[in-house]
Amino acid sequence: MSGIAAVFWKELADHFSSKRFIILSLLIYLAGIATIYVAAQNIRTGITENTQFIFLRLFIVSGANLPFSFPFFLSLFIPIVGIALGFDAINSERTSGNLSRILSQPLYRDSVINGKFLAGLVILAILVASIVILVGGMGLRMIGVPPTAAEILRLFAFIFVSIIYGAFWMALAVLFSVSFGRTATSALASIALWIFVFLFVSLIARAIAGAVVPIDQNSSLDLIARNDEIYRTISRISPSTLYGETVQVILLPEMGNPSATLMLLNIYAGGMTPTPLPLGQSLLLVWPQLTSLIALTALCFAGSYIRFMHEEIRAT
Amino acid sequence: MSKQAVIETKELVKTYGKFIAVDKLNLCVNQGEIFGFLGPNGAGKTTTLLMLLGLTEPTSGTARICGFDSTREPIKVKRITGYLPERVGFYDDLTASENLDYTAALNGLPREMASKKIDELLNMVGLSEVAKQKVGTFSHGMKQRLGIADVMIKAPKVALFDEPTAGIDPEGIEQVLEMIANMAKQKVTVVLSSHQLHHVQKICTRVGILSKGHLVAEGSVDELGREKIGGGKLRIEVQVAEPTSKLVKSIENVKGVTNVESAGDLLLISCDKDLRRQISKVVADCDSLIVQMKMEEYGLDDIYMKYFRES
């Protein structure tokens, strides 16, 4: 056990004194400031006397001139943070000649991966939690409406989900760092996958859904619903879709469905008025998404283990 | 048996696809020995060291250090074994003592004990003045010395050095070899691989020559030389003032002499044991004069070249 603790503390110290950490903090705080700016401009629209969860609105509003909400920013930046924390975990140790020295000490190989992963996770948690608290604090000053207990709980859930989302990208980057000899290759591979997942999966899903169930402005609600279902099913292979849906349901208690389109259809066709769900029900709604994210993370992790355990550690 | 085998390999085999890196290697190193592992590049020296440490898995056979199986119980092996890889790396952003601190922590050493020990070791390898300097500024020789301190932190029973003298200046080589010799004095069993023969010859008590994964020869440098070049015999070279056939004949008659070759005033005498006393007596009896007489010494270079010319 001393091995994993030693690796953990060393990595943590390394992270805190690294330029990488400063850059990542700047990036993520920039997202926070942008969010507050958007929120400040748009928070007043659409709020009536009996709007509930005003505090949560801070995190979800998006403006017309800057169509980015806080979750959007995070789903953009968290992968970058995760990749930056993991892409050179193992192969930089190898190229610097440290790996064979470290692994000739009495510690299990998985201690190296675990220690590094845990240290990255702590950094990730610090970044995500601090940005949420920062946005919350600045928002509180601005709107003067304190959060209710339910809102605080939802924010905690939001932080938790965001950390898991980052952990997935970090685990993926670690897997690549075990698989590829050079840090440049593993960084590029991670970023390529991120771009694919972030931009192209949704485009492809949209195209396939359009081909299978073509819809236009005059399509029946049934057709639109079927189109949306196909689109959702395909785009859910992307972790960023899973994250987006989860966050939306957690931050918008009124969301009775992970799909915004189906939600609107329900309101429109069924004439139902959206009522806020308790947190437990919201979590139940996105349970599949949440477990999928965790499973994907575990999969990447297992992959790194398998590759690393039987690998020959030669100093070259 | 008073001597106990510390390092032992049995029928150790490692293949990479069709390439056989190490082929049925049987090796035995006793406590307190400095064993020199020789061979050209690609002979399987590093691969053998990696298998001893459990850093790579043997295709078949076993490697044991102090009775612990390197594949099954790598942690126990690594607790008592220090390893200095070829082209050792340290964290460039950390200072020399911080790097050693990390190694100490990985070995589970208590903090106060570790820092005392690190000071001692840095002093020993002559790096105490640069202890607070970042390793990124170190020369290769300094890193190698730091590597020796790194190996010593865990107070190993066995130390494996892979090409410890490669790429450092003559003075540095001298220092490194001296430190390794000192380790052996402290009852540490040392294995060092190298292809720089005279370095090995200087400090090793025993050598093994590896070629294409086979151990082609094993023994002390003297033994190997006698066996290979002298055909198991000693050779005495005598220069006399006036060589005569009578003299050659009487030397041949000395008990123990197997062959005498004469070339000018030089006589090359092969014999079973050291017969210098008897031979000088014979020369004197024949009224001849010895200009000089010496026993042939075998350098590791000669032995080495002989082996590889043959294979």
Q: What is the CATH number of the domain that holds B248?
A: 3.30.70.100
Q: Which two tokens stand for residue A161?
A: 């989900």
d(CA A145, CA A33): 19
DSSP A92-128: HHHHTTHHHHHHTSSS-HHHHHHHHHHHHHHHHHHHH
What is the tens place of the pLDDT at every residue in B157-188? 999 999 888 888 888 888 889 999 988 888 89
Identify the contact set of chain B against chain A, taking CB-CB distances under 8 A: 46, 50, 53, 55-57, 75-76, 78-79, 81-83, 85-93, 102-103, 105-108, 147, 150, 154, 162
Evaluate whether residue B139 is within a structural domain: yes
**Chain B partners of A108 at a C-beta cutoff of 8 Å?**
75
For residue B270, the surrounding DSSP H or E stretch is strand B266-271
In-domain check, residue B125: yes
Lowest mean pLDDT among A92-96, A114-118, A137-141, B227-231: B227-231
What percentage of chain A has pLDDT greater than the value 90?
A: 49
Provide, as residue numbers in chain A, all residues whose Cβ is less than 8 Å from the Cβ of B88: 97, 101, 315
- CA gap A224, A17 in Å, rounded: 52
Tell me if B71 is assigned to some domain. Answer: yes
Q: Which of A19, A104, A111 to mutate to test the interface with B (most CBs of B within 10 A)?
A: A104
B68 and B11 part of one domain: yes
Q: Buried b vs exposed e over B138-147: b needs ≥16 C-beta within 10 Å?
A: beebbbbbbb
Q: Is residue B308 part of a domain?
A: no
Residue of A nearest to B58 (CA): A312
Q: Which residue of A has its CA nearest to B89?
A: A97
Pairing of strands B68-69, B81-84: unpaired
pLDDT band per the 50, 70, 90 thresholds, residue B261 = confident
Domain boundary (B179, B197, B225) is at: B225
Counted domains in chain B? 2
For the segment B229-255, the average pLDDT, to the nearest whole number, is: 79
Residue ending a domain, among B196, B225, B254, is: B225
> Is A3 in contact with B90 (Cβ distance < 8 A)?
no
3-state secondary structure of B188: coil
**DSSP strand pairing (B214-219 vs B206-211):** antiparallel
Q: What is the pLDDT of residues A203-222, one digit of tens each?
A: 999 999 989 888 887 878 88
Residue B65 is predicted with a pLDDT of 93
DSSP A69: -
- Give the residue from chain A lying closest to B162, CA to CA: A315
Same domain (yes/no): B145, B273: no
Q: Are residues B134 and B196 in the same domain?
A: yes
What token pair was written down for B44? 């399987």
On whether both B140 and B244 belong to a single domain, the answer is no
CATH code for the domain of B20: 3.40.50.300
B239 and B129 fall within a common domain:
no
What's the CA angle centered on A130, arms A291 and A36, to 5 degrees?
100
Is pLDDT of A139 > 90?
A: no
> Testing the interface with A: which of B106, B109, B138 to mutate, by most A Cβ within 10 A?
B106
Contact assessment for residue A183 and residue A91, using Cβ atoms and an 8 Å cutoff? yes
Higher pLDDT, B2 or B298: B298
Same domain? B48 vs B191: yes
pLDDT at residue B136, as a whole number: 93
Q: Please state, in angstroms and rounded to a whole number, the distance separating the CA atoms of residues B254 and B285.
A: 12
Banded pLDDT at A301 (limits 50, 70, 90): very high
A-B CB pairs within 8 A amount to: 84
DSSP-based three-state secondary structure for B37: strand
Q: Where does a domain end: B225, B248, B276?
A: B225
Q: Give the orientation angle of helix A109-143 with respect to helix A70-86, to 10 degrees.
A: 160
Q: What are the residues facing B81 on neighbouring strands?
A: B158
> Has residue B305 been placed in a domain?
no
Contact A96 B92 (CB under 8 A): yes
Task: Compute the half-sphere exposure of residue A90: CA atoms within 13 Å on the CB side of its CA.
Answer: 28
Helix, strand or coil, per DSSP, at residue A67: coil
* Size (chain B), residues: 311
Q: Do residue B37 and residue B107 come from a single domain?
A: yes
Q: Are A175 and A304 in contact (CB under 8 A)?
A: yes
B212 and B186 in one domain?
yes
Establish if B39 belongs to a structural domain: yes
> Residue A107 — φ and ψ, nearest 5°?
-145, 155
Same domain as B111, residue B60: yes
Taking chain A, what is the end-to-end CA distance rounded to the nearest angstrom?
Answer: 29
Same domain, B65 and B130: yes
Judge if B241 and B187 occupy the same domain: no
Report residue A63's pLDDT band, with 50, 70 and 90 as the boundaries. Answer: low
Q: What is the 3-state secondary structure (H, E, C) of A8-60?
A: HHHHHHHHHCCHHHHHHHHHHHHHHHHHHHHHHHHCCCCCCCCCCCHHHHHHH
Among the listed ranges A179-188, A257-266, A294-303, B191-200, which one has the minimum average pLDDT value? Answer: A257-266
Q: With beta carbons less than 8 A apart as the criterion, state whether B27 and B63 touch.
A: no
Per the listing, tokens 């009852």 go with: B187
Report the alpha-carbon distance of residue B189 to residue B83 in Å, rounded. 12
Q: How far is B124 from chain A (nearest CA, A)?
A: 20
In contact, B144 and B86? CB cutoff 8 Å:
no
Interface contact flag, B107 A106, Cβ < 8 Å? yes
B58 in any annotated domain: yes
**pLDDT score at B143:** 92
| In the block, residue with structure tokens 């007596």 | B281
Amino acid present at A210: G
Angle formed at CA A301 by CA B109 and CA A241, multiple of 5 degrees: 140
Least confident of A199-213, A218-232, B24-38, B212-226: B212-226
What's phi and psi for B6, nearest 5 deg? -90, -45
Q: Which residues pair with B297 in a beta bridge?
A: none
**Would you state the pLDDT for residue A265?**
74
Residue range B264-277: mean pLDDT, rounded: 82
CA distance B81 to chain A (A): 8
Closest CB to A312: pick one of B55, B81, B103.
B55
> Do B267 and B189 reside in the same domain of the chain?
no
Closest chain A CA to residue B79? A106
Asked if residue B194 belongs to a domain, the reply is yes
How far off is chain B from A15, nearest CA to CA, in Å? 12
What does the pLDDT look like over B33-66, one tens digit per residue? 899 988 888 888 999 999 999 899 999 999 999 9
Question: Min CA distance, A56 vs chain B (Å)?
Answer: 43
Full residue range of the structural domain in which residue B51 is found:
5-225
CA gap B206, B223 in Å, rounded? 9
For residue A68, give both structure tokens.
């980015």
Residue A6 to residue B106, Cβ atoms within 8 A: yes
For Cα atoms A308, A312, A314, give the angle at the middle one, nearest 5 degrees. Answer: 120
Q: Is the pLDDT of residue B1 over 50?
A: no
Q: Does the structure show a pLDDT above 60 at B3? A: no
A97 contacts on B by Cβ (under 8 Å): 85, 87-90
Give the pLDDT confidence of B80-125 residue by residue, as tens digits: 999 999 888 999 999 999 999 999 999 999 989 999 999 999 999 9
Comparing C-alpha atoms, which of A77, A76, A74, A47 is closest to residue A59? A74
Contact A3 B55 (CB under 8 A): no
